[in-house]
Chain A
């Protein structure tokens, strides 16, 4: 079993500007986190801030250790609240979408 999990993350609603203006990213994250637990959404979010975010305005994306209110998260096209939110364990080839709603309409 490899040490890494491959997945795709997408950023829309303006978030892409934090990630090199790129909407879709294929990434590879460690399968387990530092404590040996399987990597979950919480881990992924921290990982993204540390490794993928090229802009310093992280407050557009996260607030106090979790996704900022107003940013929707979809795991394989379903609301993450239905999947356990931050505790959801990442599976290989998952598709995670972060949609910001914090802009004019």
Chain B
């Protein structure tokens, strides 16, 4: 087969076949294209403010290693003046995390970026090794995800950083879109497709920029600059730039390669590589159908869209373990999630806005259902988080879709239409102060369970985080 010539420079041999458009390019041109596409994503979404302090969630894996390298390159090249730091979470998994942290340390040295490591042991008194010893290998990914979310936010606050970036790529997002589609969880899907997620206090802080908003771990925002980058290209970028990363499956994640959304994505990619970005974009479009707090459909997801917080714990638990392999053990995970949700169910679905859509005729049937849906729309700065207006008797635009979440299905059909909607409480966990709309945040709930069952040792471990 005669060698192909790079379509961009028309001089060198083509080395990469780009999935998004089948372009054939040489390595230097590819690197240049990749970097400029990430730069474009960042500037078109106004992801960063000039001079902003940004923490890069760094695991030592391929995505975060590439993320750190690209951000550093672009920061220097475009003079964004970002103050970049690496933030690593040590879950306490011997034989896995200790090795990957070595990779992060090497990155920190190579890139000249400071590194902060936060550990579960320090934050919670429990390493994942200890958690697994206690509860076994089922549901441990949920614990890890919940703990990691808080750990990243706390680490950011310790560094006085209000913005954490993670290396989620297009394949990750596409997989999440498909999974939530299969579950019928549209609100979560809409959160997964936002490039930036922030708490209301963080959103308000960025709006009123002249105030020096102090960073606590309740107002850290998250974004994924690599959201439109193919995983394959991330690997190719790392390969051709000879970046040093760590690549082993988490020791506690169930055996990979069973039926899962990730396998579906990979098979789709083989037949039609453009599918991955198409799924991501479809997800973004579908997110527009998710009704906001005031009953109307959301507009396009911009950075001021702010869905997030406690319920995202589950989502982070899913996505936090890198691949979807942690979900390959789907049944036990689902059971664990169900249990956690049922616990939370007891308090009037506090972390989600209850929106009652009007009784619209869909398929000739009346669907008067309560919807649990989470949205913190900061379109209107005076967004009401108290009882939502129920446009039950007004006509709605036809784009609204009745949503039935898992919780709602489980709780039976007793939808009490006439009960006043529960107030949206954005408080703080009474144990540890983390942002939560429950009295006690999920991490503390999990820790309580762990601590109760802990075998007595000489020193009694205290409660909570």
Q: Chain A residues in contact with chain B, CB under 8 A?
A: 12-14, 17, 59-60, 68-70, 72, 74, 77-79, 81-84, 88, 97, 99-105
Contact A99–B250 (Cβ < 8 Å): no
Asked if residues A84 and B249 are in contact (CB atoms below 8 Å), the reply is: no
The reply to whether B247 and A12 contact each other, CB–CB distance below 8 Å, is yes
Q: Is the CB of A79 within 8 A of B16?
A: yes
Interface residues of B in 99-158 (CB under 8 A from A): none
A70: chain B residues at CB < 8 Å are 266
The answer to the question of B24 belonging to the interface, with a C-beta cut-off of 8 Å to chain A, is yes
Bound CA–CA A27/B266 (angstroms):
30
Any A CB within 8 A of the CB of B235 = yes
Q: Contact check: which of B15, B232, B247 meets A103 at CB < 8 Å? A: B247
A14 touching B249 by the CB < 8 A rule? yes
- B234 CB-CB contact with A under 8 Å: yes
Given contacts A78-B13, A78-B15, A105-B322, A99 and B239 within 8 Å (CB-CB): yes
Query: Are A82 and B4 in contact, with the CB atoms below 8 A?
Result: yes
For the A-B complex, the count of residue pairs with Cβ-Cβ distances under 8 Å equals: 82
Cβ B248 vs Cβ A14 within 8 A = yes
| B351 interface contact, C-beta 8 A | no
From A66, which residue of chain B is reached at the shortest CB distance?
B270
Chain B contacts of A102 at CB under 8 A?
256-257, 323
Give the residues in chain A near B257, CB-CB below 8 Å: 59-60, 68, 102
The answer to whether B16 and A104 have CB atoms under 8 Å apart is no
Secondary structure of the B contact surface, majority rule: mixed
Q: Does B451 contact A (CB under 8 A)?
A: no
Which residues of chain A are near B63, meaning CB under 8 Å? Answer: 105
> Chain A contacts of B169 at CB under 8 A?
105
Q: Is the CB of B267 within 8 A of A69?
A: yes
CB distance from A66 to the nearest CB of B (A): 9
A82, B12: Cα distance in complex, Å: 14
Which residues does chain B contribute within 8 Å of A103, judged by CB atoms? 61-62, 247-249, 322-323
Bitwise interface map of B from 234 to 255 toward A, beta carbon under 8 Å scored 1, else 0: 1110011000000111100000
Residues of chain B lying within 8 A (CB to CB) of residue A105: 59, 61-65, 167, 169, 172, 231, 234, 322
Contact A77 B27, beta carbon cutoff 8 Å: yes
Contacts of A101 in B (CB 8 A): 62, 231-232, 235
B35 is an interface residue with CB less than 8 A from chain A:
no
| Interface check B290, CB cutoff 8 A | no
Q: Which residues of A contact B167 (CB under 8 A)?
A: 105
Quick one: which of B15-42 are within 8 Å of A by CB?
A: 15-17, 24, 27
Contact A104 B61 (CB under 8 A): yes
User: Across the interface, do B249 and A104 meet the contact criterion of CB distance under 8 Å?
Assistant: yes
Shortest CB-to-CB span from B404 to chain A, Å, is 32
Once bound together, how far apart are the Cα atoms of A70 and B63, in whole Å? 15
B14 pairs with A78, CB closer than 8 A: yes
Q: Which residues of A contact B59 (CB under 8 A)?
A: 104-105
Q: How far is the CB of A75 from chain B (nearest CB, A)?
A: 10
Per-position contact with A for B260-275: 1 when CB-CB < 8 Å, else 0? 0001001101100000
